[in-house]
Amino acid sequence: MIRHMGTQRRSHNTLSHQIVGTPKPPKPDAGASFAFGGAGEEVFLLHYLYLLHDTHRITMSFSTKPTGYIKTALSDLQGAWGNLREEVVEHFGFPDSDKLLFHIDEAMSWESVRNLQYMKSAWLLVHNIAAQSEAPESIREWVEKVRIDLEQAIVAVQEGEAE
C-alpha cells in the first residue's frame, strides 16, 4: 500500500510516496528501494517530484458547468429542434419533407451545437424549405419556436453566459 504525502519545504513543495509500515520515510534527495519480507527482492523504486513554486508552476484548469440560464436556453433549443423533427416525421410525405428532415438533422448535429451561427444558417434553410413547400401549419409553428429559442441562446452567448 502506498500513501501519498505532501510536505512543505522552504524553497519547494515535495510530493513523496511512503510505504505504509516502513519505519521512516526515505531521504528526499535520492530514489529509494524497498524490499519485502526479508527476501531482499526489490519491489519498486520511488522517485520524487519537486515542484518549485517560485519558478515553475503547474496549472490545471477545469471547465465549469454552464450557468443555469444557458443550460435552459440550450435545452429549450434542443427540445424545439426535437419537436420540429417529430412533427416533420409525423406529417412526412408532403413535398420536400425529406429535404426538411435532412436539414433539421444537420441543424441538430454536433457542429451546429458548437457553433450557433452555423445553426442559424441551418435554421434559415429549414425555414425557407418549410415556407416554400406545402408544410403543415404545425411545422411552421415549430420552425418559429426554434427561431425564438435560437435567438435566446445566441443572446446568452453574447452576454457571456456561455463560450
Q: What is the pLDDT of residues 77-99, one digit of tens each?
A: 999 999 999 999 999 999 999 99
Return the percentage of the chain with pLDDT > 70, whole number. Answer: 55
**Strand pairing class (42-46; 49-51):** unpaired
What is the residue-level pLDDT of the chain in tens, covering all 163 positions? 444 444 444 444 444 444 444 445 445 444 444 444 444 433 333 333 344 444 455 555 666 665 555 567 888 899 999 999 999 999 999 999 999 999 999 999 888 888 899 999 999 999 999 999 989 999 999 999 999 999 999 998 888 775 5
pTM of the model: 0.56
Burial letters 90-104, b for 16+ CB under 10 A, else e: eeeeeeebeebbebb
